[in-house]
Amino acid sequence: MAPPLDVVILAAGQGKRMRSSLPKVLHRLAGRPLVSYVLATVRALSPRTIALVVGHGGEAVERALSAPDLVFVRQDPPRGTGDAARVALAVVPDDGVTLVGLGDVPLVPADSLARLVAIAREGRVAILSARVRDPIGLGRVIRTPQGDVAAIVEERDAAPAQRSLNEINTGFIAAPTPLLKRWVEGLTPHNAQGEFYLTDIVAMAVADHVPVEAETTTDEASVLGVNDRAQLADLERIVQRRMADALMRDGTSITDPARIDIRGDLSCGRDVTIDVGCIFEGTVRLDDGASIGPYCVLRDVTVGPATRIEAYSHFDSVQIGRNCRIGPFARLRPGTKLAEDVHIGNFVEVKASTLGAGSKANHLAYVGDAVFGSRVNYGAGSITANYDGANKHRSVLGDDVHVGSNCVLIAPINIGDGATIGGGSTIVQEAPAGQLTVARARQVTISRWQRPRKKPKTDQGA
């Protein structure tokens, strides 16, 4: 039976180059904290324990990531990766193997880590290395003339010949736990930083005649870390392109994959079209044949088949039915539900309302806390006055209601089936079914009235 796996994730760094009060590992990549990517990857390996080392902003990290399978360990003061691993290993049993990794390297693949674990289960030390074009600032993997791994040297401590090497350490190491604990306890801070380096255990393993094997990747993107906001932005585009490519392979048309932002989970049916500049947050589902125009923002939205969303529309927590036409410049707020064939036009806002099949609000209107039946026609400039200054109230419009332009429906109110509300009306009482209701001031013309005129300007003098 294979020894159990325990995982240590180092996430205590302040991230000074981020220049932020937010801990580095909580900065967001495609809508999720950086460290959550690493946690998701190691969880795929079914570890017994995940120990997350926190330091600067530890309370915030614990609040954001709290989960039954996580053990939080504090490193205070920060004294390097070796010291962080030592603190974490105190909560790890001795009968397994331990994988140690970094919380700011979000795209490391699970299969690479699985190979490190397999090597460690054979009693050896495994490191994940990468051959990169520009190794500046990164620790170098030092090999013997025979090609065996001999040590890892940080750049500040490296000799000029060592700095010319392009095989770098990615920060992921696996080893039998008893050996790892022994080596970590023997670390010393004899380096340019005056810190305890976890990477020094490689040379210690070699000295103890424990084989060290490198799992080497040439995919630089998979091992990129984040030290500043520019590197975070570079990773953002890598992640976005990967998600866009996956959608396109499954039949989604994306006008420009470089101009899409998915900050959550986006799933698409067949023949979905997404134009440029769209942002998807939370959980979004676009059914077959849906079309999203440019510069739309959708957060926690379901869009039905064959529905077309025009440009610059913003939706939050809504359900949209089949064959609807919405926008441009439409805003649908939380609690909105649209049945099939609904039309919502330009500069229309809908909040916490249900619109029945075939209903329309095409121009410059507000619908709040309302229930529309089927085939309601809601005129330009009309609003439901749903708030009395203290409480929200509901408007109910039956089937086939027509509301003229510039009407105010003062809730709570009921408009019967087939009723017509004359334009410019302020409705405060129930409007009976099948009848015309008008409530507006009588038009008056004052024949001798004259418009005020401006007084002529006088010269101010030289």
| pLDDT tens for each residue of 171-204 | 999 999 999 999 999 999 988 788 999 999 999 9
The candidate with the shortest Cα–Cα distance to 373, out of 407, 411, 403, 406, is 403
Shared domain for 36 and 128, answered yes or no, is: yes
The domain of 96 spans: 5-223
Q: Give the mean pLDDT of 279-286.
A: 98
Q: Please name the helix (run of DSSP H) or strand (run of DSSP E) that holds residue 10, with its range, or none.
A: strand 5-10
Whether residue 451 is contained in a domain is answered as: no
| 8-state DSSP, 387 | B
Whether residue 39 is predicted with pLDDT greater than 80 in this model: the reply is: yes
Shared domain for 188 and 297, answered yes or no, is: no
Give the model's pLDDT for residue 218: 85
| 8-state DSSP, 115 | H
Rounded to a whole number of angstroms, the distance between the first and last alpha carbons of the chain is 103
Whether residue 307 is predicted with pLDDT greater than 80 in this model: the reply is: yes
Q: What proportion of the chain, given as a percentage, has pLDDT over 70?
A: 99
**Residue 348 amino acid letter:** V
Question: Residue 16: which pLDDT band, with cuts at 50, 70 and 90?
Answer: confident
Shared domain for 213 and 235, answered yes or no, is: no
The residue among 190, 223, 256 that closes a domain is 223
Backbone torsions φ then ψ of 442, nearest 5 degrees: -70, 140
Prediction pTM value: 0.90
Shared domain for 25 and 136, answered yes or no, is: yes
Higher pLDDT residue, 57 or 214? 214
Could you list the active site residues?
363
β-pairing, 125-131 with 32-33? unpaired
Average pLDDT of every residue of the chain: 95
Shared domain for 135 and 244, answered yes or no, is: no
Whether residue 449 is contained in a domain is answered as: no
- DSSP E strand stretches across 44-181: 49-54, 70-74, 97-102, 125-131, 140-143, 149-153, 167-176
The candidate with the shortest Cα–Cα distance to 195, out of 66, 55, 33, 67, is 55
Q: What is the pLDDT of residues 332-355, one digit of tens each?
A: 999 999 999 999 999 999 999 999
Q: What is the largest CA-CA distance in the chain?
A: 110
Question: Residue 460: which pLDDT band, with cuts at 50, 70 and 90?
Answer: low
Shared domain for 247 and 115, answered yes or no, is: no
Shared domain for 375 and 317, answered yes or no, is: yes
Give the model's pLDDT for residue 241: 97
Tell me the CATH number at 218. 3.90.550.10
The residue among 223, 256, 288 that closes a domain is 223
Whether residue 462 is predicted with pLDDT greater than 60 in this model: the reply is: no
Shared domain for 267 and 156, answered yes or no, is: no
Give the model's pLDDT for residue 457: 80
* DSSP symbols for 224-272: ---SSHHHHHHHHHHHHHHHHHHHHHTT-EES-TTSEEEEEEEEE-TT-
Whether residue 456 is contained in a domain is answered as: no
Q: What is the pLDDT of residues 63-113, one digit of tens each?
A: 999 999 999 999 988 899 999 999 999 999 999 999 999 999 999 999 999
Whether residue 301 is contained in a domain is answered as: yes
Question: Residue 459: which pLDDT band, with cuts at 50, 70 and 90?
Answer: low
Q: What is the pLDDT of residues 401-427, one digit of tens each?
A: 999 999 999 999 999 999 999 999 999
Distance CA 373, CA 358 (A): 9
Q: Which two tokens stand for residue 107?
A: 């795209």
Whether residue 320 is predicted with pLDDT greater than 90 in this model: the reply is: yes
Give the model's pLDDT for residue 461: 56
* DSSP symbols for 283-309: EEEE-TT-EE-TT-EEEEEEE-TT-EE
Shared domain for 271 and 205, answered yes or no, is: no
Whether residue 455 is contained in a domain is answered as: no
Task: Please give the C-alpha separations between residue 280 and each of 13, 35, 124, 271, 285, in angstroms, as whole numbers.
Answer: 30, 21, 44, 18, 10
Distance CA 335, CA 293 (A): 22
Q: How many domains does the chain have?
A: 2
Our CA angle for 307, 279, 308, nearest 5°, is: 10
Distance CA 308, CA 251 (A): 17
Whether residue 118 is predicted with pLDDT greater than 60 in this model: the reply is: yes
Q: Which two tokens stand for residue 365?
A: 């209107």
Question: Residue 139: which pLDDT band, with cuts at 50, 70 and 90?
Answer: very high
Distance CA 88, CA 6 (A): 11
Contact 323/343 with Cβ under 8 angstroms? Answer: no
CA-CA-CA-CA dihedral for 309, 314, 316, 317, to nearest 10? -10
CA-CA-CA-CA dihedral for 309, 360, 393, 316, to nearest 10? 0
Shared domain for 327 and 297, answered yes or no, is: yes
The candidate with the shortest Cα–Cα distance to 212, out of 122, 130, 153, 150, is 150
Distance CA 369, CA 426 (A): 17
Q: Give the mean pLDDT of 122-142.
A: 94
Shared domain for 198 and 278, answered yes or no, is: no
Q: Give the mean pLDDT of 11-34.
A: 92
CA dihedral for 77, 48, 211, 169, sign (positive or negative): negative
- The mean-pLDDT minimum among 40-54, 193-207, 263-277, 445-459 falls in 445-459
Name, in order, each residue with C-beta under 8 angstroms of 452's C-beta and a sequence gap of 6 or more. Answer: none
Give the model's pLDDT for residue 194: 86
Whether residue 459 is contained in a domain is answered as: no
CA-CA-CA-CA dihedral for 236, 69, 109, 123, to nearest 10? 150
Whether residue 414 is contained in a domain is answered as: yes
Whether residue 354 is contained in a domain is answered as: yes
Tell me the CATH number at 427. 2.160.10.10
Shared domain for 205 and 346, answered yes or no, is: no
